[in-house]
A = this chain, B = another copy of it.
Amino acid sequence: MPVLPSGYSIRRVESSDYEGVVETLKVLTVVGDVTKEQFEETVAYWNEVTVKSKGESMKAYNPHVITDDSGKVVATGNVFIERKVLHDCGLVGHIEDIAVAKNQQGKKLGQLLIEHLSDLALSRGCYKVILDCDEKNVGFYQKCGYSIKGVEMDRRS
Protein backbone atom coordinates (compact mmCIF):
# COMPACT_ATOMS: atom_id res chain seq x y z
CA MET A 1 0.00 0.00 0.00
CA PRO A 2 1.15 3.55 -0.71
CA VAL A 3 1.45 5.92 2.28
CA LEU A 4 0.37 9.55 2.70
CA PRO A 5 3.07 12.10 1.83
CA SER A 6 4.71 13.65 4.89
CA GLY A 7 2.47 16.22 6.60
CA TYR A 8 -0.70 15.00 4.83
CA SER A 9 -3.51 13.55 6.89
CA ILE A 10 -6.93 12.00 6.54
CA ARG A 11 -9.87 12.86 8.80
CA ARG A 12 -13.63 13.25 8.95
CA VAL A 13 -15.09 16.35 7.23
CA GLU A 14 -15.70 19.33 9.52
CA SER A 15 -18.02 22.24 8.89
CA SER A 16 -15.00 24.51 8.45
CA ASP A 17 -14.04 22.52 5.31
CA TYR A 18 -16.54 24.47 3.17
CA GLU A 19 -14.20 26.00 0.60
CA GLY A 20 -11.87 23.03 0.38
CA VAL A 21 -14.58 20.44 -0.16
CA VAL A 22 -16.60 22.53 -2.61
CA GLU A 23 -13.50 23.37 -4.68
CA THR A 24 -12.30 19.77 -4.68
CA LEU A 25 -15.68 18.34 -5.70
CA LYS A 26 -15.66 20.48 -8.85
CA VAL A 27 -13.15 18.03 -10.31
CA LEU A 28 -15.86 15.34 -10.21
CA THR A 29 -19.04 17.08 -11.35
CA VAL A 30 -21.40 20.07 -11.08
CA VAL A 31 -21.40 21.51 -7.56
CA GLY A 32 -23.56 24.61 -8.11
CA ASP A 33 -23.89 27.57 -5.78
CA VAL A 34 -23.57 25.88 -2.44
CA THR A 35 -23.43 28.49 0.32
CA LYS A 36 -21.39 28.13 3.50
CA GLU A 37 -24.64 27.78 5.42
CA GLN A 38 -25.93 24.98 3.21
CA PHE A 39 -22.62 23.17 3.50
CA GLU A 40 -22.63 23.45 7.28
CA GLU A 41 -26.19 22.22 7.46
CA THR A 42 -25.30 19.21 5.29
CA VAL A 43 -22.33 18.37 7.51
CA ALA A 44 -24.58 18.67 10.58
CA TYR A 45 -27.06 16.29 8.94
CA TRP A 46 -24.28 13.82 8.08
CA ASN A 47 -23.11 13.92 11.69
CA GLU A 48 -26.57 13.22 13.01
CA VAL A 49 -27.76 10.16 11.05
CA THR A 50 -26.90 6.89 12.72
CA VAL A 51 -27.20 3.31 11.58
CA LYS A 52 -28.03 0.74 14.19
CA SER A 53 -27.11 -2.85 13.69
CA LYS A 54 -26.83 -5.75 16.11
CA GLY A 55 -26.99 -3.49 19.13
CA GLU A 56 -24.37 -1.04 17.89
CA SER A 57 -24.95 2.50 16.73
CA MET A 58 -22.58 4.22 14.33
CA LYS A 59 -22.58 7.08 11.85
CA ALA A 60 -24.34 6.32 8.57
CA TYR A 61 -22.42 8.99 6.61
CA ASN A 62 -18.65 9.05 6.81
CA PRO A 63 -17.39 12.00 4.76
CA HIS A 64 -13.61 12.39 4.77
CA VAL A 65 -10.91 14.71 3.49
CA ILE A 66 -7.21 14.42 2.92
CA THR A 67 -5.37 17.61 3.82
CA ASP A 68 -1.87 18.60 2.70
CA ASP A 69 1.02 19.82 4.87
CA SER A 70 -0.54 23.30 5.03
CA GLY A 71 -3.93 21.93 6.12
CA LYS A 72 -5.56 22.54 2.72
CA VAL A 73 -8.17 20.02 1.52
CA VAL A 74 -6.76 18.11 -1.47
CA ALA A 75 -9.12 15.12 -1.70
CA THR A 76 -12.57 14.18 -0.49
CA GLY A 77 -14.94 11.22 -0.46
CA ASN A 78 -17.79 9.71 1.52
CA VAL A 79 -19.03 6.26 2.45
CA PHE A 80 -22.51 5.80 3.79
CA ILE A 81 -23.86 2.68 5.33
CA GLU A 82 -27.20 1.25 4.23
CA ARG A 83 -29.18 -1.21 6.28
CA LYS A 84 -30.95 -4.03 4.45
CA VAL A 85 -33.02 -7.13 5.23
CA LEU A 86 -31.16 -9.44 2.87
CA HIS A 87 -27.80 -11.02 3.80
CA ASP A 88 -28.96 -11.48 7.42
CA CYS A 89 -30.11 -7.89 7.82
CA GLY A 90 -26.75 -6.94 6.33
CA LEU A 91 -25.07 -3.59 5.92
CA VAL A 92 -23.72 -2.23 2.63
CA GLY A 93 -21.19 0.59 2.29
CA HIS A 94 -21.73 3.00 -0.61
CA ILE A 95 -18.64 4.94 -1.65
CA GLU A 96 -19.62 8.30 -3.12
CA ASP A 97 -18.21 11.58 -4.37
CA ILE A 98 -14.52 10.77 -4.63
CA ALA A 99 -12.49 13.70 -5.89
CA VAL A 100 -8.80 14.55 -5.84
CA ALA A 101 -7.56 18.09 -6.62
CA LYS A 102 -6.01 18.23 -10.11
CA ASN A 103 -2.58 19.46 -8.94
CA GLN A 104 -2.33 16.59 -6.43
CA GLN A 105 -2.76 13.75 -8.84
CA GLY A 106 0.00 11.11 -8.99
CA LYS A 107 0.39 10.94 -5.20
CA LYS A 108 -1.98 7.97 -4.84
CA LEU A 109 -4.31 10.07 -2.70
CA GLY A 110 -7.36 8.56 -4.42
CA GLN A 111 -6.18 5.06 -3.66
CA LEU A 112 -5.43 5.92 -0.02
CA LEU A 113 -8.85 7.51 0.40
CA ILE A 114 -10.66 4.50 -1.12
CA GLU A 115 -8.65 2.16 1.06
CA HIS A 116 -9.53 4.17 4.15
CA LEU A 117 -13.26 4.39 3.37
CA SER A 118 -13.47 0.70 2.38
CA ASP A 119 -11.73 -0.41 5.57
CA LEU A 120 -14.02 1.79 7.61
CA ALA A 121 -17.15 0.22 6.08
CA LEU A 122 -15.86 -3.36 6.27
CA SER A 123 -14.68 -2.93 9.85
CA ARG A 124 -18.18 -1.71 10.82
CA GLY A 125 -19.60 -4.98 9.49
CA CYS A 126 -20.63 -4.26 5.90
CA TYR A 127 -20.78 -7.49 3.88
CA LYS A 128 -19.77 -5.48 0.80
CA VAL A 129 -18.75 -2.01 -0.27
CA ILE A 130 -19.95 -0.78 -3.66
CA LEU A 131 -19.39 2.22 -5.89
CA ASP A 132 -20.43 3.42 -9.30
CA CYS A 133 -17.94 4.89 -11.69
CA ASP A 134 -17.24 5.79 -15.29
CA GLU A 135 -15.93 3.06 -17.55
CA LYS A 136 -12.64 5.01 -17.73
CA ASN A 137 -12.04 4.66 -13.96
CA VAL A 138 -12.50 0.89 -13.78
CA GLY A 139 -8.73 0.24 -13.89
CA PHE A 140 -8.14 2.64 -11.01
CA TYR A 141 -10.77 0.97 -8.80
CA GLN A 142 -9.43 -2.48 -9.68
CA LYS A 143 -6.08 -1.34 -8.26
CA CYS A 144 -8.03 -0.46 -5.10
CA GLY A 145 -9.33 -4.04 -4.75
CA TYR A 146 -12.69 -3.56 -6.47
CA SER A 147 -14.22 -5.85 -9.13
CA ILE A 148 -16.86 -5.18 -11.75
CA LYS A 149 -20.21 -6.28 -10.33
CA GLY A 150 -22.94 -4.86 -12.57
CA VAL A 151 -24.33 -1.93 -14.47
CA GLU A 152 -25.24 1.45 -13.00
CA MET A 153 -28.43 2.92 -14.48
CA ASP A 154 -30.04 6.28 -13.82
CA ARG A 155 -33.14 8.32 -14.46
CA ARG A 156 -32.93 12.11 -14.21
CA SER A 157 -35.58 14.62 -13.22
Contact = CB atoms under 8 A, between A and B. Distances in A.
A154 B128 contact: yes
B33 A155 contact: no
Interface string A131-143: 1111100100110
A1 interface: no
Q: How many copies does the complex hold?
A: 2
A34 B149 contact: no
Nearest to A31: B86
Interface size class of A (residues with CB under 8 A): 35 or more
A128 B148 contact: no
A30 interface: yes
A27 to B, nearest CB: 11
A59 to B, nearest CB: 12
